[in-house]
Structure 1
Amino acid sequence: MTLLEADAGSNISSTSTSVESMAADADTEPQITLRSAQLTPSGVVEVTLSFPGESADVVEPSTMNEWEAYSTRQHKMTGQTAPPVPVMNICLAPIGTWNNGVKQFVAIGIKLKGQGHRVRVAANERFRTEIVARGLEFYPLAGAPESIQDFAKFVYDSQNAAQAAAPGRLGTGAIQAFKELMYSLWPAAYGSDPHGGGTNIPGKHFRADALLWHPLLLGHVHVAERLGIPLQCASLEPLSPTYSFPHPLSSVTGLDPPMMKLCRSNLLTYGIVDTAIWHGSVAEVLTQFRAFIGLQKRCDLPDPLVRWEVPHIYLWNPALLPKPLDWGAELSVVGHVTLGINAGLSRRKRKKREKENKRFKWPNALTEFAFQTSAPPVIYFGVSTRTMSPGILDELLRKVDAASDQRVLIIFHTREVGDKQRALYQSANVLEIASDLPYARLFQEPTVAGVIHSGEPNIIAESLSVGKPIGVCGTHSSQQFMASVCERAQVGLPLIDWRTCTVEPLASSFGALLTADLRQRAQTLAASFNPTQALDAAVAAFHANLPLEAMRCDVDASQVARVFDSRHDLKLSLQAYASIQPRYDESKGFVPYRPLRFGGGHPPTFSIRGNAAEVTCDVKPTREHRDGVQLALGALGKDEGASSSSSPTGSRASIAMFWSSAGEEAAVRKATNVAYDRIVKKTQRESKRQAVMRFFGVRSGILSVVSTLAPRSSSMLEKCAGW
């Protein structure tokens, strides 16, 4: 049975496959059994687990002690001085709306560009104008998931479309849209913007040296493997396995909804969700995508980000949700990143934006309703109406109106633009406002005492950063997750489910949101928000995660290596290669250079073996994450396999011109050739010395010391950096 035939509608049948403890005495440990897992039309993976006893879900203290010790060692290692970062081409790729995903990546991109890097942001076409206005390059991605739940719904629709297609065909419609999104990822990292030079005029060619993409853009690992470059991910929601909380897209039947406690079932949800999203038509599309970009073998790993230990940068305030103890140094929680109104804009556009900002005024009806008096208090109530019918929305408004009962004023705000023929709701206690009014600006108004909204991470951060307590109104598991985060931090309420709420619970929620204790804790938490510091930390984490010793040119450490001189084992930048190439026959030993080699279920390694800077990573304590994958794969009757073979070697290098004048070219060529000759002669001298030492029987230990003098060492790189 093929993956496509194996229930492409994401219904994982009941299985007795057991989750075995990774502890030493696995045979005596109780077992958790997966009964079912199903990706639903709403984008939730509903999971049913069977627990033989309470102890089956317990994380032993010894396990967390191991992780604490590991975390301490990692912290000491990451505290070392970072080497200089060469100028490189960086591709960023978010998913989400402008406020909830895209602008955070743009802020990081502007910071990276300010450090000299060439930065491209790949996103939906509707964001082109704003991104380009901020001084960054752009590439249009097909499709536009506006959140992680939208992406999961997108996958559900794709799998259903594939299931309905004729045998042997993936079908059209949703699955074609998913395929187009995946296939647009390759030219985003390696290609020209089709409109970069104007309408239908391609821009300058772009080849990424590093990727910073959202974890759910599933083609990321395959693009990185094909180019042999480092991949990192960034997200506003936690998507890496942990004992501390469940996957935001999961809903485990029969367990306490908040689930903000250490338990083994939390960890299992990550492997199960990864597999439920990946299997069937998605795996088939990714396999086709791999073949399209020149990679061999099938896509057989549901969780390559975990297997390859891909670094993640998480963009939320750790004071709200601390970094889990069982996350390694490759997973960072840097803080809430936001984008300044004028960040990256030219002087002319900055002045124009400042004038627009000064001229901004709230509608008169809103000012008269909410901002002219401090009593009664005002609550902002925002909802997402994508899954609401007009009748349900009107019914919710009537309930909100009745619950306010002249004790509070409600500013009601929908995220999406609704039916233009529908009149906005207005009463003595409730005023519905237009969807395009800026919510972050509303939160800053002194009369707004509390905020209820749809639970998007950026809205939570914007409200808490100005000291406004939180309520989340929604039905999705990710909304339940964010409500639980705020409730555990004692700055928010339990989830308000608009499907089942009545007037009395709504009135109680309004009252609880306005209590002095909750408001005081929200104001205290507000002091921990520092977007500037968070942005600096995000960029620092990105740099710290780069395998710089594998990326830098051996002749000029300020440049990225893109050509390999196999005769002398030297990594060269295109500038260095262009300088020395006329002296040599190109067919003799010069090939494109890829810093990393990918393959199988282990993290990528340096493509040049024996690099002294490639140290062995500290061994992580064991966890049962892969058991979640095995449970789901077992339910589908699918064995695990290797995702790929070794990365391809590629074609011959091409020469690019880098000099503005003949004089500059001559000077750079001369200096580069001097540095290159010095390194080559040094290598030849060392090789002769080693041969003599071997002839006289000098032991290998001394030889290993001598080998550290090779030009790939950091000391030699430092000597070359001055040229």
Structure 2
Amino acid sequence: MLITMLTTGTRGDTQPYIALGLALQKRGHRVRIAASESFRDFVKHYGLEYAPIRGDITKIAQSELAQDAGKADNPLKFYKSLKKDEFKRLFLDMQQDMYQACLGADAVVYHPGATLGYFAAQERHIPSILATPFPMTPTSAYPNLLFYNRPSFGKLYNKLTHRIFEMGFWMISGDHVKQFWKEQFGTAPRPFSSPFPRQRTATHPTLISLSPSVFPRPDDWSEHIHCDGYWFLEPDKSYSPPQELQDFLNAGKPPIYVGFGSISGQAQASETTAIVIEALKRNGQRGIIAKGWGGMERPDELDKDILFIDGAPHDWLFPRMAAVVHHGGAGTTAEGLRSGVPSLIIPFTNDQFAWGQRVHELGVGPKAIPRKQLTTENLTQAMKYTQINEVKAKAQVLGSRIRSERGAEASAQAVIDCIEAYQKKGK
């Protein structure tokens, strides 16, 4: 069978789908991944079919428009920022590319930002599977991630926050799906409404890349909501670190990693870098700083205990660290937890605040420090917290549990079960 997977977003949003795709490929199926042009080589490297989605996500993420969206400090501002006219043409082009990627497929697996996948599957009479890199199915057990670090008002409130999140995602993508569909077929899909509530059956399930050791599976979820572990890529055994990086690791005790991934904070890069370096010095810690997309800036003069790198595979680098300090993206958080070392999260926007709070609740890191509140003093104290023996021990235990899970394999089986159920229902 040919299974098309529609992704959106940065590398952290795309990588879990490659892991899921590889698990399906091992079962003998063809997998086609539709992703930003930025990730063409990334997808093809793993032997999966690639379908382009117009737009270089690296450039988009660094644009002024994306920067404004990233500064949103509440869900309403974030949703409104993505409704701007400048985004509309880009989103419409994406619908066209996603639809093309679905042609000839036997099933469509789609990111919640790619809701066209549901309607393309309906139109072609094939099953659709919602696959999300974060929990979003309504539950009374805990609030949605965009509300997680805010005051909670009980079970009904918790469930309402998830529904608001679903509505927000649909508000962003629904108009673009509708416009594309009218241009393609002369009318909107029928019925035309949010697909998320429909993805909770045997033939239309939801898969979540999430460890039940991080967020336990809620009792009020349908059996067709699958949450069995993160979708991790297997370590690349062919990876060989640059000599400078290997020499630095060999030269002393494990350093603390600091990096903010695709977060582009160029206006604050010098300030952030100075705070990080001073906090490392005050703790007597060596540090590895990843430059990312503009969040950090290498100074002219650098102490021998600090190494700047363009990047390195997190699954290789993180287990070699004393702690990892990052922005709290879902993918980076998962890798940090899997590594078995303490995590310190400096959230910039959106669900990063939730992951920061959850890390502290699990006892594997200090309280998160929002970027707007970052100072040398509070970063110094937070780094010191990561080296408490109890915190390090809890991080090791959680990491071991996460590494024992086989989320991608379990979710791949759920995809196959869904297709078989759909075909049986059709007969």
TM-score, normalised by the number of residues in structure 1 = 0.52
The whole-number CA distance in structure 2 between the counterparts of 1:545 and 1:403 is 51
Superposition map of 1:594-613 within 5 A: 606=425
Residue of structure 1 in register with 2:247 after alignment = 367
> How far did residue 550 of structure 1 move?
4.4
Residue of structure 2 in register with 1:403 after alignment = 279
Per-residue deviation, residues 10-38 of structure 1 (Å, max 9, x unmatched) = xxxxxxxxxxxxxxxxxxxxxxxxxxxxx
Residue of structure 1 in register with 2:213 after alignment = 319
Which of 1 and 2 has greater Rg? Answer: 1
1:437 partner letter: A
Match of 1:431 among 293, 306, 309: 306
The whole-number CA distance in structure 2 between the counterparts of 1:386 and 1:378 is 22
SS at match of 1:529: helix
Query: Is it true that 1:275 corresponds to 2:147 in the alignment?
Result: no
Query: Is it true that 1:478 corresponds to 2:368 in the alignment?
Result: no
Larger displacement relative to structure 2 (427-436 or 125-134): 427-436
Match of 1:414 among 273, 288, 291: 291
SS at match of 1:101: helix
Per-residue deviation, residues 289-311 of structure 1 (Å, max 9, x unmatched) = 23244374468865321145341
The whole-number CA distance in structure 2 between the counterparts of 1:299 and 1:387 is 40
Query: Is it true that 1:248 corresponds to 2:145 in the alignment?
Result: yes
Query: Is it true that 1:222 corresponds to 2:129 in the alignment?
Result: no
Percent identity between the two aligned chains: 22
SS at match of 2:129: strand
Residue of structure 2 in register with 1:584 after alignment = none
The whole-number CA distance in structure 1 between the counterparts of 2:134 and 2:260 is 19
With over 3 angstroms needed to count, the CA separation of the structure-2 counterparts of 1:457 and 1:402, relative to structure 1, is same
The 8 Å contact of residues 125 and 140 in structure 1, kept in 2 or not, is answered as yes
Superposition map of 1:321-720 within 5 A: 321-341=215-235, 354=238, 357-358=239-240, 360-363=241-244, 367-368=247-248, 371-374=250-253, 378-384=255-261, 386-390=263-267, 392-404=268-280, 405-416=282-293, 423-424=298-299, 427-428=302-303, 431=306, 433-445=308-320, 448-530=321-403, 533-546=406-419, 548-551=420-423, 606=425
Query: Is it true that 1:95 corresponds to 2:19 in the alignment?
Result: no
The 8 Å contact of residues 242 and 266 in structure 1, kept in 2 or not, is answered as yes
The 8 Å contact of residues 263 and 294 in structure 2, kept in 1 or not, is answered as no
Query: Is it true that 1:181 corresponds to 2:94 in the alignment?
Result: yes
SS at match of 1:217: coil
Match of 1:289 among 160, 163, 180: 180
The whole-number CA distance in structure 2 between the counterparts of 1:305 and 1:488 is 29
> How far did residue 480 of structure 1 move?
0.8
With over 3 angstroms needed to count, the CA separation of the structure-2 counterparts of 1:494 and 1:477, relative to structure 1, is farther
Larger displacement relative to structure 2 (519-528 or 392-401): 392-401
The 8 Å contact of residues 492 and 513 in structure 1, kept in 2 or not, is answered as yes
1:119 partner letter: V
SS at match of 1:527: helix
The 8 Å contact of residues 286 and 299 in structure 1, kept in 2 or not, is answered as no
SS at match of 1:128: helix
Aligned length: 411
1:304 partner letter: P
1:270 partner letter: H
Match of 1:265 among 146, 157, 176: 157
> How far did residue 337 of structure 1 move?
2.3
> How far did residue 511 of structure 1 move?
1.3
> How far did residue 444 of structure 1 move?
2.7
With over 3 angstroms needed to count, the CA separation of the structure-2 counterparts of 1:362 and 1:418, relative to structure 1, is farther
2:247 partner letter: T
Residue of structure 2 in register with 1:160 after alignment = 84
Residue of structure 2 in register with 1:639 after alignment = none
Gaps of 5+ in 1: 1-87, 162-172, 191-206, 343-352, 553-605, 609-711, 713-723
Higher helix share: 2
> How far did residue 189 of structure 1 move?
0.3
The 8 Å contact of residues 344 and 386 in structure 2, kept in 1 or not, is answered as yes
With over 3 angstroms needed to count, the CA separation of the structure-2 counterparts of 1:150 and 1:513, relative to structure 1, is farther
Residue of structure 1 in register with 2:74 after alignment = none
With over 3 angstroms needed to count, the CA separation of the structure-2 counterparts of 1:308 and 1:409, relative to structure 1, is closer
The whole-number CA distance in structure 1 between the counterparts of 2:293 and 2:10 is 11
The 8 Å contact of residues 452 and 472 in structure 1, kept in 2 or not, is answered as yes
With over 3 angstroms needed to count, the CA separation of the structure-2 counterparts of 1:183 and 1:249, relative to structure 1, is farther
The 8 Å contact of residues 157 and 174 in structure 1, kept in 2 or not, is answered as no
With over 3 angstroms needed to count, the CA separation of the structure-2 counterparts of 1:145 and 1:262, relative to structure 1, is farther
The 8 Å contact of residues 359 and 365 in structure 2, kept in 1 or not, is answered as yes
The 8 Å contact of residues 110 and 118 in structure 2, kept in 1 or not, is answered as no
SS at match of 1:91: strand
2:106 partner letter: D
With over 3 angstroms needed to count, the CA separation of the structure-2 counterparts of 1:493 and 1:315, relative to structure 1, is same
With over 3 angstroms needed to count, the CA separation of the structure-2 counterparts of 1:341 and 1:503, relative to structure 1, is closer
With over 3 angstroms needed to count, the CA separation of the structure-2 counterparts of 1:133 and 1:406, relative to structure 1, is closer
Residue of structure 2 in register with 1:81 after alignment = none
With over 3 angstroms needed to count, the CA separation of the structure-2 counterparts of 1:296 and 1:274, relative to structure 1, is same
Residue of structure 2 in register with 1:677 after alignment = none
With over 3 angstroms needed to count, the CA separation of the structure-2 counterparts of 1:272 and 1:536, relative to structure 1, is closer
SS at match of 1:208: coil
SS at match of 1:138: strand
Residue of structure 2 in register with 1:680 after alignment = none
Match of 2:28 among 100, 113, 116: 116
With over 3 angstroms needed to count, the CA separation of the structure-2 counterparts of 1:466 and 1:118, relative to structure 1, is closer
Superposition map of 1:132-143 within 5 A: 132-143=44-55
2:315 partner letter: A
TM-score, normalised by the number of residues in structure 2 = 0.84
The whole-number CA distance in structure 2 between the counterparts of 1:232 and 1:507 is 44
With over 3 angstroms needed to count, the CA separation of the structure-2 counterparts of 1:440 and 1:114, relative to structure 1, is closer
The whole-number CA distance in structure 2 between the counterparts of 1:124 and 1:311 is 25
SS at match of 1:92: strand
Per-residue deviation, residues 441-486 of structure 1 (Å, max 9, x unmatched) = 22232xx211111112222222222310111112213111111221
With over 3 angstroms needed to count, the CA separation of the structure-2 counterparts of 1:150 and 1:144, relative to structure 1, is farther
Kindly report the root-mean-square deviation, in angstroms, between the aligned alpha carbons of the 2 structures. Answer: 3.3
